[in-house]
Amino acid sequence: MKKFLITLENPQGSYVDMSAEEIKQREEDNKTAKPISVEEIENLKASAKAKLMSGEALTEEEANTIVL
Report the C-alpha gap between 20 and 52 in whole angstroms.
42
Domain positions in the chain: 2-32, 35-68
Q: Could you tell me the pLDDT band of residue 12, with boundaries at 50, 70 and 90?
A: very high
SS3 for 14?
strand
- For 25-43, the pLDDT digits (tens) are 999 888 887 778 889 888 9
Beta-carbon neighbour count of residue 65 at 10 Å? 19
Report the C-alpha gap between 43 and 54 in whole angstroms.
17
Q: What is the mean pLDDT of residues 39-63?
A: 89
Q: Rounded to two decimals, what is the model's pTM? A: 0.45
Report the C-alpha gap between 44 and 37 in whole angstroms.
11
